[in-house]
Structure formats: C-alpha cells, structure tokens
Structure 1
C-alpha cells in the first residue's frame, strides 16, 4: 500500500480533488482506499436506530451489514485511533489516499490551495509536502511542483510516478 496525503485548509477542494483522483486511479486499473481525518465530531449513526442504540448501551464495536456494504463503528474514548491501527485493519490496496491529516502522519502529500488564506501555506510548515495543487502556480516557490487543481489526471499521474520512484528506491536498498 502506498500512502499519499491530500491536505489543505477547509474549503480548498480536497474532497473534490480526492474523489476525482480516485476515479482516475481506478480507470488506470489501480485499487484505492481513502481515509478522511475529520477535525470535528461526526456521527455516522442515526439516533433511535438499532446500531445507535447498541453503541449508546455500551457496545465497544457495532457492525452494520447490508446486502451492498458493511460498516464498523468503534468508540474511542481514549481519543483518536492511531493511523497505523486503522491502516492495519484495511485490506491491501495499491493506494491509500489520506484526506486531512494536517498535523500528523509520515507520508508524502499534496497541499490543495485555492485562494488566499489567513494562515501560512502548509508547505512552509511541513517538510512532507511534495507538490501544490491549485488554480494557478502563483506564490508557489521555485522547485515545488505545481499541479493544476482542475486536472485530476495530472495529479493522479504525479502520485503514480511518486509511488513508482519510491518503489524503485525501496528495491535498491540493500540490507
């Protein structure tokens, strides 16, 4: 599994880009999974429904199974589940696209940027930003690859190329 992050400030277009990149990678024959890191509370369950009632009664894990999919909900009173634990629970795929994760994780990422922000660009704070996807290359430092936010195939090709380079490097490491 090759982990790759799509990060940026709220409203920058991360989810839209991620969705289109998934479609591009799938059209190229790759298997893809996604993990979204939400910075606020989200409840995927519906109050009053059976699975909700199981959770509030104290069940540590609740699985909902339908003919088309299944979902596992797990309470984490100790705080966010570590990304490594989540990844170990996932089935192997070619790419895992991680959305968000501005403040943690050790993997290459693209910063999605649309318009001016009050805060400094993430590439000024993190050393693992390998490219910036935006509407225009304006303001991107020399040497930092610019990807057109409106060309998801370009972004997908960049991710595949980075993965291929990483795998070649990994194969050349002698133990």
Structure 2
C-alpha cells in the first residue's frame, strides 16, 4: 500500500492541505483513503442513538451501516492505542493512503508550515519529511512548496509513490 503523510504543528494547515490533496488526487483518477490521528477523545456516535446505546451497554464493536456508508466503532476498553501499521490493515486497497499526523512514524511526509504559529520546522530533524508546504519562503535541503499550491504538492507526492 502506498502511503504519504501530512504533518505539522497545530494550526499549520494540515487538515486543509489534506482536504485539497484528496480532492486533487481523486480528480486525477486515483483512489485515496485517509487516516487521521486524534490526540484527544472523540466520538462519531451520539447519546440516545441506538448504536451509542449498544456501546454504552458494553459492546466491544458496533458496526453502523446504511446504503451510503458504514462505520465500525471499536472500544479499546483498556487496550493500548493501535499502531498506524495495525490500523492500515483494516483499510480496503486503494492507490494511496494519506495520513494526517503520526509524525513520529517513518513513512514519507510533507510538512505543513505556517510562520504565524511561531512553531519550529519539523523537517530539519526528520529525514522522513521529504518536502515542506509553507506560507513563507524557506531555504531547506528539500523541496519547499507554497502551502496553497495543491497541484504541485500532489504531483510531488504522486511522483514520490510512483503513481
């Protein structure tokens, strides 16, 4: 499976870049799935709904399905957080999996960077960051793209993964 990540500090533009990349790459005819790491508790379910009631009652997994989509909720119930590698085995085959977050994993990545956040670049200390998408000009030992030049960033990623 071909993987490419988007990393960066909070408010660096990761999610916007991910959204634009998915649109651009699928528009070029490739299938894309995404994985997003959340650093906090999250819920895709709503109190009072049947599926939520099943989970609260103690179900280990709840599969919610309709004619348009399905969602599998798995309660960890004290287990350790699954690794990215474990999660990837649950995805159906696609041309490319874009991963938001998981900056410590060693898959190739592009770093989203906004100068206004005041955060340092990740790239200088991480060789898995193959390029930077920034809102300011930078001089680095790897490609630097305008954060809003989605077509160029997508082209770079597709070339990197051989698509």
Could you say which TM-score interval applies, normalised by the shorter chain?
Answer: over 0.9
Partner of 1:144: 142
Q: Deviations over 1:69-120 (max 9, x none)?
A: 00000011212111112111111111000001123x2200001001144543
Matches of 2:30 and 2:95, distance apart in 1 = 6
Partner of 2:59: 59
Q: Deviations over 1:118-175 (max 9, x none)?
A: 543111332200000011223x42x2210111111111000011112xx8xxxxxxxx
Segments of structure 1 that go 5 or more residues without pairing to the other structure are 168-175
Confirm or deny that 1:153 pairs with 2:151.
yes
SS at match of 1:127: coil
Matches of 1:27 and 1:35, distance apart in 2 = 19
Q: Which consecutive segments of 4 or more residues in structure 1 shift more than 3 A?
A: 116-119
Task: Give the aligned CA root-mean-square deviation in angstroms.
Answer: 1.4
Task: Report if aligned partners of 2:12, 2:117 keep a CA contact under 8 Å in 1.
Answer: no
Tell me how far 1:10 sits from its aligned partner.
Answer: 1.0
Matches of 1:47 and 1:12, distance apart in 2 = 32
Matches of 1:85 and 1:79, distance apart in 2 = 12
Matches of 1:32 and 1:66, distance apart in 2 = 21
Confirm or deny that 1:133 pairs with 2:133.
yes
Segments of structure 2 that go 5 or more residues without pairing to the other structure are none
1:1-175 to structure 2, matched below 5 A, reads 1-76=1-76, 77-103=78-104, 105-138=105-138, 140-141=139-140, 143-164=141-162
Task: Report if aligned partners of 2:115, 2:136 keep a CA contact under 8 Å in 1.
Answer: no
